[in-house]
């Protein structure tokens, strides 16, 4: 059934009339990728930034894929997913997710962070910092709530947000 194209001499197979190409299957999800739904969508998770949610990515999600290096400043995003390496200053972010292969160096200010890889620098997490087994956070860390799985590591200057050091305000007691 192979014939040659009229003027190019390229061998090709002709299809019977009426046959169509099968539809292309959707790209399979990447291993380690975190699927995400847009805020306010009916499929939005209630348990936090990581969970089983399908294969959609919110339009305000920045993904630094495995093998990618990025340097700069991110002024606003809903979600930052780091599978590669980033050296940055990050402001106004809802969720920072650092995958097992991810490395973040710099300053980050976020509502929630889920660290499976490495973070080094200044990290301010206003709500919940979750350090997974194999995750390592080092530098100056401020958090609202913290959870460290067995095998997770944290080092540096660590402070709970809103914790006041009232030592200087203590007055001597007289009898």
Q: How many Å apart are CA 100 and CA 31, to the nearest integer? A: 11
| Mean pLDDT, rounded, for 113-121 | 98
Given this model, what pLDDT does residue 57 score?
56
Check whether 72 has a pLDDT greater than 80. yes
- When mean pLDDT is compared across 30-44, 46-60, 73-87, 139-153, the lowest value belongs to 30-44
- Judge contact between 115 and 98, C-beta under 8 A: yes
Q: How many Å apart are CA 158 and CA 129, to the nearest integer? A: 12
SS3 assignment, position 169: helix
Given this model, what pLDDT does residue 18 score?
52
Q: Which residue has the higher pLDDT, 105 or 163?
A: 105
Check whether 65 has a pLDDT greater than 90. yes
User: How many other CB atoms sit within 10 Å of the CB of residue 38?
Assistant: 14
The pair phi, psi for residue 38, each rounded to 5°, is -65, 145
Please give the mean pLDDT across all residues of the chain. 75
Q: Which residue has the higher pLDDT, 136 or 12?
A: 136
Given this model, what pLDDT does residue 167 score?
36
| Residue pLDDT, tens place only, 138-169 | 999 999 999 999 999 999 999 998 765 433 33
Given this model, what pLDDT does residue 16 score?
53
């Amino acid at each position: 059934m192979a014939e040659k194209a009229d003027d190019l001499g390229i061998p090709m197979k002709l299809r019977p009339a009426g046959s169509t190409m099968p539809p292309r299957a959707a790209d399979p999800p990447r291993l380690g990728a975190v699927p995400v739904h847009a805020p306010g969508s009916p499929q939005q998770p209630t348990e936090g930034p990581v969970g089983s949610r399908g294969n959609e990515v919110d339009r305000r999600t920045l993904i630094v894929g495995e093998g990618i290096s990025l340097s700069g400043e991110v002024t606003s995003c809903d979600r930052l997913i780091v599978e590669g390496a980033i050296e940055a200053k990050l402001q106004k972010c809802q969720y920072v997710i650092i995958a097992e292969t991810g490395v973040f160096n710099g300053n980050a200010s976020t509502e929630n962070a889920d660290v499976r890889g490495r973070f080094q620098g200044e990290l301010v997490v206003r709500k919940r910092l979750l350090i997974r087994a194999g995750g390592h956070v080092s530098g100056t860390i401020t958090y609202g709530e913290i959870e460290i799985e067995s095998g997770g590591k944290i080092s540096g200057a660590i402070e709970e947000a809103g914790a006041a050091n009232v030592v200087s305000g203590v007055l001597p007691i007289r009898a």
